[in-house]
């Protein structure tokens, strides 16, 4: 089971998902979020981030769309559920499941030829500015991915793995 952690605002990227565990200690912000229907236990999906980064568009459990300020998200305690492979939340040595490939047809075909498919397990060997190095668990095959490719691969933590 994953532990609750504060998801830093810098880690938010389109396609990231988290579950809200706490609305934070600021009563005014917590009340505003609660009035919008954002409560602990709500599953948030990041749709897009404004060019200057202050406003973040998210969708909630019921498909409702919200525009939240960066400060509101920073106040919340969230448990990351899914994120792009290039996220700063990805930990070297941890195993993840591929949830989705968000690129176009050619990208999907190229990834499938190299064995990267939805629901497959990947172990992270290297992250950062260098190409991301992953090991396909079932094939024991290592693949280097560029940053653009890593952005299009959405992964999720495996729930039975200890942090």
Q: What is the pLDDT of residue 54?
A: 84
How confident is the model over 40-64, as a mean pLDDT? 89
What pLDDT, on the 0 to 100 scale, is given for residue 108? Answer: 94
Q: Indicate the CATH number for domain 9-83.
A: 2.30.30.90
pLDDT at 107: 94
**In the predicted model, what is the mean pLDDT of residues 46-61?**
88
Residue appearing with tokens 């691969």:
153
pLDDT tens digits, residue range 123-149?
A: 999 887 778 889 888 888 899 998 899
**What is the arithmetic mean of pLDDT over 22-29?**
88
Global pTM reads: 0.82
| CA gap 1, 59 in Å, rounded | 24
Q: What is the mean pLDDT of residues 113-121?
A: 92
Q: Higher model confidence: residue 162 or residue 98?
A: 98
CATH number for the domain running over 85-157 = 2.30.30.90
Instruction: Name the residue among 18, 121, 33, 30 with its Cα closest to residue 78.
Output: 18
What would the mean pLDDT of 3-23 be, rounded to a whole number?
78
Above 50 in pLDDT, residue 163? Answer: no
Residue 161 has pLDDT above 60, yes or no: no
**4 touches 77 (CB < 8 A):** yes
Question: Distance between CA atoms of 45 and 49, rounded to whole angstroms?
Answer: 12
* Position 2 pLDDT exceeds 60: no
Within this chain, domains 9-83 and 85-157 share the same CATH topology: yes
Partner residues linked to 145 by β-bridges: 132
| Domain boundary assignment for the chain | 9-83, 85-157
Average pLDDT of the residues of the chain: 86
């Amino acid at each position: 089971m994953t532990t609750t952690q504060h998801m830093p605002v810098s880690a938010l990227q389109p396609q990231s998902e988290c579950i809200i565990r706490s609305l934070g200690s600021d009563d005014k912000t917590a009340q505003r979020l609660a009035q919008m229907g954002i409560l602990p236990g709500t599953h948030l999906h990041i749709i897009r981030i404004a060019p200057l980064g202050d406003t973040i568009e998210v969708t909630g459990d019921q498909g409702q769309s919200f525009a939240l300020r960066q400060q509101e998200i920073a106040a919340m305690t969230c448990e990351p559920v899914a994120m792009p492979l290039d996220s700063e939340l990805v930990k070297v040595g941890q195993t993840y499941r591929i949830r989705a490939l968000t690129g176009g047809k050619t990208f999907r075909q190229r990834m499938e030829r190299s064995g990267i498919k939805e629901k497959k397990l990947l172990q992270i060997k290297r992250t950062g500015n260098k190409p991301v190095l992953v090991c396909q668990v079932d094939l024991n095959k290592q693949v280097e991915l560029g940053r653009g490719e890593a952005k299009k691969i959405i992964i999720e933590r495996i729930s039975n793995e200890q942090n």
